[in-house]
Structure 1
Amino acid sequence: MSILRKLFGPYKDEVWQQLAAEIHADFVEGGFWKGSRVEATVKEWTITLDTYTVSTGKTHITYTRMRAPYVNPDGFRFRIYRKGFFSALGKRLGLMQDVEVGYPDFDDQFIIQGNDEYKLQLLFNNINIRQLIETQPEIGLEVKDDAGWLTERFPENVDLLSFQVVGVIRDVERLKHIYGLFGEVLNQLCRIGSAYEGDPNVALY
């Protein structure tokens, strides 16, 4: 084992290749301009894991993100993140209302926002979703406009389920939990009438 590997742990691509093998996904090698990524599927949905870096002038911040476009028939949006340092900033930036979903231990740990309180309660009534979220030491999970995701043009009624945290995640079990969370959330959104299982590349109405 190399000295660098002992100091910093396994390389990102090594872990992500292992993830791809375990969840039967595709590992896509990065190039000069783009980093490597993992592309997985759940039913008709494509889930993409990658990183991106933002320059703040004096430093660079790298984020790990996972995204999945899906058909959103009713415009339901939500955001959830752990209470902590960025909570006040998140509350100022958000136009959605803060909601408690009826599980005190869960409500105490997270800021939960959405544009439909009843749908939020239905979403987080799923115990698997709550448990998978609680496994994450840091989490930023939300539904937002696809915003030209990967420069693709999706129909107007397509939104994006998005996970994002600071840093490069090189823990395969944590990544598997995030992937499992995406599947649970997308399926629960279908159950409550806020998603369709169809291909988001095809307009349904």
Structure 2
Amino acid sequence: MSILKKWFGPSKDEIWKQLAGEMSADFVDGGLWKGSKVQASVHEWTVTLDTYTVSTGKAYITYTRIRAPYVNKDGFRFKIYRKGFFSDLGKRLGMQDVEVGFLEFDDQFIIQGNDESKLQLLFKNLKIRELIEAQSDISLEVKDDDGWLGAKFPEGVDQLSFQVVGIIKDVERLKLLYTLFAEILNQLCRIGSAYEDDPHIALK
């Protein structure tokens, strides 16, 4: 065993290859310049796990992200993340925080969206709430694309997107996140906010 592996444990790629094997997913080696990723099929959707790094000017911060483009039937979008000091401050300053009708869940998370009734229908799903609560850190949202440096999607295609600071090397946590994505995409179809069509988007 190498000294680095003894100190830091298995590498990200080792863990993610294990994840891909256990999920019957594809591990894509990005080589020297592109990061590796894991892609899994959920019905007609492709769910992609990867990392990206941004510079703050003084340091570099790496994020783990999971993304799944889908055909958005009605333009419904939402964002959910755990409450903290700054989110409480934002709430006092008037930031939107929709209550979906489940006291313990509402107490833990800031929930935002453009359709309150659809938010309540989405989070009425007990499994979705349990999977979100199982994440110690979570920022999950529907957005239109990857930003000005990323992929641009056709009209009507949006993206379910998760990201957190750091590199996730916990196989069980990553499995739960893939399960969460599958459950949300299926629930979006049930409530009339997604089609089960393949949007034919190849994420970089």
Give the distance between the partners of 2:51 and 2:180, measured in 1 at CA. Answer: 18
The 1:38/1:189 distance shift into structure 2, 3 A limit, reads same
The equivalent of 2:106 in structure 1 is 107
Give ranges in structure 1 of 5+ residues lacking alignment: none
Q: Give the counterpart letter for 2:107 in structure 1.
A: D
Contact 1:64 1:165 survives alignment (8 Å): yes
1:195 to 2:194 alignment: yes
Instruction: Report deviation, 1:174.
Output: 0.3
The equivalent of 2:161 in structure 1 is 162
Contact 1:12 1:170 survives alignment (8 Å): yes
Instruction: Report deviation, 1:2.
Output: 3.1
Point out 4+ residue stretches in structure 1 off by more than 3 angstroms. 88-92, 147-154
Contact 2:146 2:152 survives alignment (8 Å): no
Give the distance between the partners of 1:150 and 1:68, measured in 2 at CA. Answer: 17
Equivalent residue of 1:199, what SS? coil
Give the distance between the partners of 1:87 and 1:148, measured in 2 at CA. Answer: 23
Instruction: Report deviation, 1:147.
Output: 4.2
1:176 to 2:181 alignment: no
For 1:52-71, what aligned pairs fall within 5 Å after superposition?
52-71=52-71
The equivalent of 2:124 in structure 1 is 125
Contact 1:25 1:40 survives alignment (8 Å): yes
Contact 1:155 1:201 survives alignment (8 Å): no
Contact 2:51 2:62 survives alignment (8 Å): yes
Equivalent residue of 2:74, what SS? coil
Q: CA RMSD in A?
A: 2.3
Q: How many residues end up aligned between the 2 structures?
A: 201
The 1:124/1:182 distance shift into structure 2, 3 A limit, reads same
Give the distance between the partners of 1:108 and 1:9, measured in 2 at CA. Answer: 36
Equivalent residue of 1:41, what SS? strand
Q: Give the counterpart letter for 2:170 in structure 1.
A: D
Give the distance between the partners of 1:167 and 1:137, measured in 2 at CA. Answer: 13
Instruction: Report deviation, 1:150.
Output: 8.7
